[in-house]
Amino acid sequence: MSLSRASRRTLLAVGAVTTALVLSACSSDTNGKSGGGGDTGFVTNTGGVSTVAKGERKPVSDLAGETLEGKRLDVAGLKGKVVVLNVWGSWCPPCRAEAPHFAKVAKELKPKGVEFVGINTRDPNKQPALAFEADYGVPYPSLYDPAGKLIVGGFPKGTLNPQAIPSTVVLDKDGKVAARSLMALDEAKLRSMIDPLIAEK
């Protein structure tokens, strides 16, 4: 028995969407392409970091919820500081590769007014994620977002939103999206996203 054309088209569409999600689920892409759609004015350097000029930045939407440790965290309460948001999963090899760099930089830059917040996603329960944090000495909290609701709803359309795992988004002191990377970062690349924002008045 053959499938109808409509059924075949539906299956192909579902397959394409599933493939796209799998490909973006744990990315180590270094080609530096930026997303967001439309005439955004994003600038992407060869290191794969996209930035937005100060006057064109947009604030994040609601990024609040329960951390892996069961505490309430609202990113809006960190306004006045540079905030580094890192989307990660315990199951993601590039996330494991970048974790030591994030732990080191977070400790070193906290005295300079930089706060790190993880967004843990696609871990069906907290235990593997908590073990990941312990293994790598992660000194900052992570919002628990197993279904990706914060990732989808927390970043306005047209901004540099996270589109892969891992992704890193850096907010300026006004709580606006200033920079993004869609790949695992080493210490030098991570600092290159943060340092210009520390210096901003």
Return the closest-CA partner of residue 44 out of 31, 32, 54. Answer: 32
pLDDT for residue 85 is more than 60: yes
In 3-state terms, what secondary structure has residue 155?
Answer: coil
- In eight-state DSSP terms, residue 54 is G
Quote the pLDDT of residue 154: 94
pLDDT for residue 27 is more than 60: no
Where helices occur in 137-170 by DSSP H, the ranges are: 149-153
In 3-state terms, what secondary structure has residue 119?
Answer: strand
Quote the pLDDT of residue 100: 98
Amino acid at 67: T
- In eight-state DSSP terms, residue 59 is B
In angstroms, rounded to a whole number, what is the distance separating the alpha carbons of residues 165 and 122?
Answer: 10
